[in-house]
Amino acid sequence: MKNSLIIFKKEIKEVLKNKNIWLPILIITVMFSIVMPLIITFASGSILEDEDTAKFISKVFGQVDNPEKVFIGFIIKQFLLFLLMIPAMVPSLIAPASVLMEKENNTLEPLLGTPIKTRELLFGKSLTAMVPAFAISTINFLILTLVVDVVLYIKMGYAPLPTVEWLIVAFILSPILSFLLTMVSIIVSSKSTDIRSAQGIGSVIIFPIYLLIGLQVAGFFLINITYLLLGCLGFLILCPILLRIAVRVFDRENILTKWKMKA
């Protein structure tokens, strides 16, 4: 654990200086935590005047006393899913760079030549990706809560966040997803010679998120506490499996003796 923390402290300083990592995260933060919630909450009344939207509410929720409140609750669930892009994106940007840039700079070989265990090395690098991901995700969820609650309290006299679903997504699902994507990114970068291709793994997780949102909009199902807890359990089971795969794939001998970066 001590060796892992040393690696984490060393690499987190470099991560904090990397603008290529923080710019896309800043864009997502502004879009999905501030701009879109403001637009939707302010314009919810006008949106419900659309005939298709009214039919959708009736189809999914049946007859309700307050369609606007139900509609806003539905939209909030979509924002929670959108914000899962942060714990998906951050590890996929940081973890591959952590491995491949060290290979390029020839600084990984001396590290691998020390007695440090592979698990300790990977855990240190995973902390470098997971800690910023969890911190940024939490900040985004708090910003979303503040924006939505302030606007809706002024407009409708109530503050809908946080909910139990919010807590599950922010503090259980988000860190689990960060760990999984970190392990996947390390596995890919261990076999890759190109940082961009290794970082592209983050885009893969975005499609299932869009799919979930699309299925909800189509009225096939609605995310609830049960679905979220089942998802957390399923992902949690995958964590030790991916960790073992990452340890096996991260071939120290190959990196030390055979692996060469492409020119």
Residue 126 confidence class, pLDDT cut points 50, 70, 90: confident
Residues 195-202 have a mean pLDDT of: 60
Distances, alpha carbon 1 to alpha carbons 65, 140, 173, in Å: 55, 29, 24
pLDDT interval class at 262 (50, 70, 90): very low
Q: Examine the pLDDT at 256 and tell me if it is beyond 60.
A: no
Please give the average per-residue pLDDT across 194-207, as a whole number: 62
Structure confidence at residue 261 as a pLDDT band (50, 70, 90) = very low
Q: How confident is the model at residue 263 (pLDDT cuts 50, 70, 90)?
A: very low
Residue 110 scores a pLDDT above 60? yes
Above 50 in pLDDT, residue 142? yes
Write down the domain spans for the chain. 2-257
pLDDT of residue 244 exceeding 80, the answer is yes
CB neighbourhood size of 182 (10 A): 29
Pick the more confident residue, 248 or 253.
Answer: 248
Q: What mean pLDDT do residues 9-31 have? A: 80
Please determine, for residue 131, whether its predicted confidence score (pLDDT) is greater than 60.
Answer: yes
**3-state SS class at 260:** coil
Nearest to 205, CA basis, from 229, 228, 174, 236:
174
Higher pLDDT residue, 14 or 131?
A: 131
| Mean pLDDT calculated for residue range 43-61 | 79
What is the rounded average pLDDT for all residues in the chain?
Answer: 79
Query: pTM (2 decimals)?
Result: 0.80
- Say if residue 113's pLDDT is above 70: no
Instruction: Using the predicted structure, report yes or no on whether residue 27 has a pLDDT greater than 70.
Output: yes
> Terminal CA-to-CA distance of the chain, rounded, Å?
35
pLDDT at 61: 78
Q: Which two tokens stand for residue 114?
A: 């020390």
